[in-house]
Amino acid sequence: MNWRWLFHVAMLSVLVVPAYAVLPDEQLADPKLETRARHISQELRCVVCQNQTIDDSDAELAHDLRVILRERLLAGDTDAQAVSFIVNRYGTYVLLKPPFEQETFFLWLGPFLVLAAGGAVVVFYLRGRSAVAHMTEKALSADEHARLAGLLEQRDAT
């Protein structure tokens, strides 16, 4: 095996950085505002790509959201005001970490409810198995043996 090749591959994997979809014409001239915009963008979901931030997405809607966000920051909005503006326009779905509200109740508690239901199914299954095992371990009484023998003889006679 060529160890030099392996070393180069390892070095390249260390140097790989995430590629953002933010276009140069979208970036703000003020580095502080651009840093704020990038920080806020990491909290906003692309509603087209669903599991990507608006910075990571190439979708047109993500581009529009990045532009709107930067316009709000240029207008003097705080981070919270800029996020609130976008949430008011697109709903809480645009947040990667939506707040715990009535609308998002099942989103937050759904995994725990599914886990509890799965646990209940396992418990009932195991209880059923132990009940069946317990029933098969019981010995038949003399009357049951006699009845079983009679049924088997009756079956064999027909």
Q: What pLDDT digit, counting tens, does each position of 62-92 carry?
A: 888 888 998 898 888 898 899 999 999 888 8
**Cβ–Cβ < 8 Å for 28, 19:** no
Q: pLDDT band for position 118 (50/70/90)?
A: very high
Residue-level pLDDT at 38: 86
Grouping H, G, I as helix, E, B as strand and the rest as coil, residue 45 is strand
Q: How far apart are CA 55 and CA 83, in angstroms?
A: 14
Q: pLDDT band for position 119 (50/70/90)?
A: very high
- The average pLDDT across 26-30 equals 65
* pTM score, whole prediction: 0.55
Torsion angle of alpha carbons 9, 11, 17, 23, nearest 10°? -70
Which conformational region is residue 139 in: left (phi greater than 0), alpha (psi within -120 to 50 degrees), or beta? Answer: beta
- The average pLDDT across 18-47 equals 74
Residue-level pLDDT at 32: 85
The answer to whether residue 19 scores a pLDDT higher than 80 is no
Neighbours of 145 (CB within 10 A): 11
87: which residues sit within 8 A by CB, 6+ positions away?
94, 95
Grouping H, G, I as helix, E, B as strand and the rest as coil, residue 53 is strand
- How does the average pLDDT of the chain come out, rounded? 79
Which conformational region is residue 9 in: left (phi greater than 0), alpha (psi within -120 to 50 degrees), or beta? Answer: alpha
Residue-level pLDDT at 35: 86
Q: pLDDT band for position 11 (50/70/90)?
A: low
67: which residues sit within 8 A by CB, 6+ positions away?
26
What CATH number was assigned to the domain covering residues 3-94? 1.10.8.640
Grouping H, G, I as helix, E, B as strand and the rest as coil, residue 44 is strand
Residue-level pLDDT at 158: 74
Q: How far apart are CA 136 and CA 141, in angstroms?
A: 13
CB crowding 13-26: b at 16 or more within 10 Å, else e: eeeeeeeebbeeee
Q: pLDDT band for position 117 (50/70/90)?
A: very high
